[in-house]
Amino acid sequence: MGWYTKPAEKPALKPTESLWAVCRACNTYVPREEWVKSQRVCPRCNFHDRMTCRERVALVCDEGSFSEINAAVTVSDPLQFVDASGAYADKAKATVAKTGEGESVLTGTGTIEGIGVVLGVMDFRFLGGSLASGTGERILLAAEEALKLRKPLIIFSASGGARMHEGIISLMQMAKTCAAINRLQQAGVPFISVLTDPTTGGVSASYAMVGDINIAEPKALIGFAGRRVIEQTIKQKLPDDFQTAEYMLEHGFLDHIVSRSEMKAFLANVLRYATNKLVEQI
């Protein structure tokens, strides 16, 4: 083999996980300590990497104010689905054990700078944050709780879309969650949607896009169809910024892009406007 055909050696980029974090957007190595301190935001490119739902709660809620609801609602297997890699029921069980969460969304009540809210926070670690029956049920119950308490609902989305393993039942969760959002709309209860990386497919095409206020984190992937599917369909290359938060802002589907470090203060400020009427009524 000539030297020129020799495949270039892949740089040995396997950092010690405990010491370094790698930005998924720009491959920059960031000391783990700094990475944690910056709330998983890349100091070089400002990419906001995924957080667990509990980390997110700690970030936006007043300390000690969060109280989980709907914990009893967990994964079910309506189709008894089995694919090439095995039974969905087993996969779901393993995911519950690994993440310590019962479904892809964590719901609860809490306060943000003293303002009472009902929260739904999705977790991408849980089967890609996919929307399935348990997710839809938790979101519906959270919305009903918001309606009952007359407190704003805030949902942080992080999802690849509907969970295939629950088939049509997952698809129906789009209609189910939107029905709950419709109720809030009619009752004048605020609903704020925060789209984080990624928010695509059936989640972007349901509750995530119909907030009174739609907010996203910088550079989050937001869109309906997958990039590869679109490229195959239209047979052309897509712009680099396609389906980013910035693209969605430019096209009129977001009110604001908010950095993680400013999220809590921004939400609190918006909530003071959004609850104007609710406060008067009390």
Per CB under 8 A, residues contacting other proteins are 76, 78-79, 81-85, 132-134, 136-137, 140, 162, 164-176, 178-183, 185-186, 201-202, 204-210, 222-226, 229-230, 233-234, 236, 238, 242-243, 251-253
Residue type at position 145 = E
Which C-beta is closer to other proteins: that of 113 or that of 144?
A: 144
Task: Please report how close the Cβ of residue 172 comes to other proteins at its closest, in angstroms.
Answer: 4
Which C-beta is closer to other proteins: that of 58 or that of 179?
A: 179
Task: Please report how close the Cβ of residue 163 comes to other proteins at its closest, in angstroms.
Answer: 8
Task: Please report how close the Cβ of residue 164 comes to other proteins at its closest, in angstroms.
Answer: 5
Task: Please report how close the Cβ of residue 56 comes to other proteins at its closest, in angstroms.
Answer: 22
Reduce the secondary structure of the chain to three states and give it as a string. Answer: CCCCCCCCCCCCCCCCCCCEEECCCCCCEEEHHHHHHCCCECCCCCCECCCCHHHHHHHHCCCCCCEEECCCCCCCCCCCCEECCEEHHHHHHHHHHHHCCCCCEEEEEEEECCEEEEEEEECCCCHHHCECHHHHHHHHHHHHHHHHHCCCEEEEEEECCECHHHHHHHHHHHHHHHHHHHHHHHHCCCEEEEEEEEEEHHHHCCHHHCCCEEEECCCCEEECCCHHHHHHHHCCCCCCCCCEHHHHHHCCCCCEECCHHHHHHHHHHHHHHHCHHHHHHC
Which C-beta is closer to other proteins: that of 109 or that of 135?
A: 135
Task: Please report how close the Cβ of residue 247 comes to other proteins at its closest, in angstroms.
Answer: 8
Task: Please report how close the Cβ of residue 277 comes to other proteins at its closest, in angstroms.
Answer: 20
Which C-beta is closer to other proteins: that of 34 or that of 241?
A: 241
Which C-beta is closer to other proteins: that of 43 or that of 226?
A: 226
Which C-beta is closer to other proteins: that of 53 or that of 209?
A: 209
